[in-house]
Amino acid sequence: MICSAGLAWETPQLFNRYVEGFGIRCDAVTPQMMATPFWKGRFVALIIPTGFANPAYSRLLPALRASEERILRFVEGGGRLLVFGAADDRPDAYDWLPFPLTYRHGYAERRIAVRPESPRGVLVDGYDCTCMPCDGCFTAPGCEPVACGEGGEAVLLEEDVGEGLVVVTSVHEYPSGTFLTSFCCSERETFF
């Protein structure tokens, strides 16, 4: 079993160390690396942290857009993509994903209900789902909601793409260790 992830950001973060704490190799992937056509990463999963579209926090969004085709190849080839909230009210923040998705920014603690049959619901294991911090909600025609707030707004979605999987969440907490070890471990890695 191979356990590996790339974490996209300008510099290594505490999030990298958190992921490594579960025995998962976690490589820093800078926007320059991501958008460079000759750079070849190899992971089971790629993680895009909260705030990727807000210029006050990150310069990652232009690199994601420049890497749209690479991201699609990575996921279609069996890679797994975990994307958090954009942290900016931009209708086009997720236009680089391989399916349409609309995000409405708004930080709040929400009571969420998790669909028990989805293995991705373990993302929130160990957290109090009666007051889950979320930085927004999603609308994605055709995507399967895994967790929704009281008003039915999706805060965790999953979508199979080719041989891979895309999970999008606005949950404003680190994913559980149970989720990370299942999501970032596989029999093989996929080139990015």
**Domain at 84, CATH number:** 3.40.50.880
Taking only the tens place, the pLDDT of each residue in 132-176 is: 999 999 988 888 799 999 889 999 999 999 999 999 999 999 999
Sign of CA dihedral 92, 95, 96, 97: positive
In this structure, the number of other CB atoms found within 10 A of the CB of residue 142 comes to: 7
**Residue partners of 128: CB distance under 8 A and separation at least 6:** none
Contact 184, 3 (CB under 8 A): yes
Q: Tell me the residue range of the domain where 140 lies.
A: 2-191
Structure confidence at residue 100 as a pLDDT band (50, 70, 90): very high
Average confidence (pLDDT) over 38-50: 95
Structure confidence at residue 103 as a pLDDT band (50, 70, 90): very high
The predicted pLDDT at position 38 comes to 87
**Residue partners of 155: CB distance under 8 A and separation at least 6:** 110, 112, 132, 134, 136, 137, 138, 147, 148, 149, 169, 170, 171
Predicted structure pTM score? 0.96
Number of compact structural domains in the chain: 1
Average confidence (pLDDT) over 172-181: 97
Looking up tokens 């995507």 gives 143
The predicted pLDDT at position 37 comes to 83
- Whole-angstrom Cα distance, residue 100 to residue 135? 19
By DSSP bridging, strand 2-8 and strand 45-48 are parallel
Contact 38, 50 (CB under 8 A): no
Say how far residue 150 (Cα) sits from the centre of its chain: 22
Going by C-alpha positions, the residue among 70, 69, 80 that lies closest to residue 181 is 80
Say how far residue 180 (Cα) sits from the centre of its chain: 11
